Structure 1
Amino acid sequence: MAARGIGTLGGMNAARHDAGRDRGDSADLLLPLWRALVVFRVITYGFAVFGVWTRWDGIRNPAGAVIQLAVMGVWTVIASIGYSRHWGRRNTRLAVADLIVTIGCMYLTLLAQPLVDIRGGASVLTSVWAAGPVLALAISRGRDGGLLGATAVSLALLSLRGFDNVSKVLSNVQLLLVAGLVVGYAATTMRRANARLREAIATESATAERLRLGRSIHDGVLQVLAQVQRRGTAIGGEAVELAALAAEQEVALRNLMASRPISGDRGRIDLCMLLLPLATPRVDVVVPAEQVLLPTATATELVAAVKEALSNVDKHAGPEARCWVVVEDLGGEVLLSVRDDGSGTTPDQLLRAGSDGHLGVSQSIRGRITDLGGSVTVRTAPGEGTEWEMKVTTA
């Protein structure tokens, strides 16, 4: 019974996996191209058969032509099944195998016609069927794959026709190259659109779930935390510490509810979503409504510099000091300011702190921004707080 139960559970998991894979395939914008390739393979095989039938009397060895058509037919079935399944589309192995088999079938024409006849003008019996792997590689690997397939098939055709007869096959070579380029560019564009569609769907789902959780949190947890904060402050004594903790958690939950997707595009990330979790009852984080996308390394270093600035506020600005972290998107640059209303200091004292071995300012802040090719400005005075301005490019 246990074994059967485990087997049943495994079957259910496999079924779920297959169902998820099928849903992913149905959302794949490249799927129509793969289906068109299967139709192309079948139709062009029919053209090859018809071409052999119309030229039957001119073929030196008809048995060789039959063998060639049989091999082409078997491979057409295999390739069509593969391109109709997920395993045949997920990598280039089948497309590469298709290229190798197709070139082999082109050379099988030698079973039906001597090389002298082919170079004298006899047809290569694969005909337009030989363009199949060019399209498959273009769909699978984009422009480069299409050019690779077109070049390989063209070289095979030229080796059969003879390089002295380039002018006779030039139109076929041109068609192969154009087909590889056009389909490759189309496949690349559709693949990018497919990635963006998946990201948009994931973002929409995450936003809907966040709103649902936000309503639940607002109706329950946030109200309880607000009540604890008010009652703790009113009671005083040790309850004040509990009220402060409740206030911190309320801010953290509100930031979580207001969060948006953190991921960006092509190795870039939203700086705002890295900074929002730094908000506390004493620290306000103000960001633009739109994402501020930066290279991941740049955004990480900026956040580290901000954390060091906030650490300095905790250590030197005073227990009652408040702090503001503000992000401004200036187009090609990002201006990040960290300002507090604490006790402040003097520029000379900042310089002496670095020379005395306190490296938070010189290395953790200035050093990071300088390494990013940015600039740092600090304004401070006794009793007037401190403001850091860090500016970096968005490239």
Structure 2
Amino acid sequence: MRTPRVSVVSPRISGLRTCRAWLEARPQAADAVLALALLLLGLPQLYLEDLPRGLDVYYAETDLRHLVVIVAMTMMLAFRRTRPLAALCVIVAGWVVLTVWHYPPSIPDFAAYLVAVYSVAAHRGLAISALGGLVALVALNGFLVAFPGELGIMSFMTDNALVIGLWVLGRNLRLRRAYFAELEDRAARLERARGTDARAARVEERSRIARELHDVVAHHVSVMTVQAGAARRILDRHPAGAREAMTTIEEVGRTALSEMRRIVGVLRTERDESAGGELAPQPGLGDLGELLDHVRDTGLSVQLWVEGEARTPSPGVDVAAFRLIQEALTNTLKHAGPQARAWVRLRYTGADLTVEIEDDGRGTATIMADNGDRPGHGLVGMYERVALYGGELRIGPRVGGGFGVRARFPLEA
């Protein structure tokens, strides 16, 4: 007996996954954590880094007022997804205040400014994101012009390129998210449509099967009526003939009841009265030779083998087996390729009839590519026909290449 594998996840990894899931469910809390991280990483720079010579006279030393403004600017990142333009405007306003009060630039306020530029482009439409980008560029260039030191053209170019690059990155990610969301929505719509089509195909196939069996059941009832009338007329003068007629009525009645019992469980729609022209008797296995001749005329090589002692199946099974072979050979013609060969086998036993249709073409890859690994309407019809008579159906690739269909129909009701 095999021992089941047990996966062990360390408490540390489990805790990280729980924390990540919690943050993904609360994006504003995740943004607040990002803002706190920027503060913790950037605030020591205000006290540890010395100003360049010449700027120490212009800039004021860090005090409580300076810290309050920087904390307010950085914590606005907690609203970078819900209110990105407002967060960017507050951060820009904080820049103006720090410049007017002669406080030196720092890592937290500049990082918050860059994150806000990216956020307004990534989480808002083109009009609002373009307005936010314009505000960001005006504020950056105003700060660079007001900077007390001498800045070369390269500083202007690199700083502006950084801001524009972050804005473009945010726009591209927004468009990419929208594209993937559209793909997911389209896939969901196609999945719903595929399910609707499959249900419609089943309903249509069941209705068509009922129409095919209509003539069979009507024929049985007609035979029973004629035999009953004959038995009534000869009952007194020819009892043996009457008993023979009653035996025939019993056999035909059982067959008719068996057919009715099969179709009542699956028929869910009213018969289409406009399809009265389709009520002609349907072909059966006796017409298989003509079908194979038609297929050979198309150029497909088809061989037929019959194993066991041939028995006459019930009319419904006869129609279902014929239609199954017809559909399988049609798929072979469409998908197997011009050099393919096909084989049809009928195997009779005492209890059932096995029908096998195989080919050696390239149908496996073609059918799967066409149907996306899901059954099409033809395959749905095969399953419905076989299930209607309590049979079993297997459809799939064949060992050595090609495609195979194998169905087993019980011969007894």
Q: Shorter-normalised TM-score: what interval?
A: 0.3 to 0.5
Larger Rg computed on CA atoms? 2
Question: So what's the TM-score if we normalise by structure 2?
Answer: 0.37
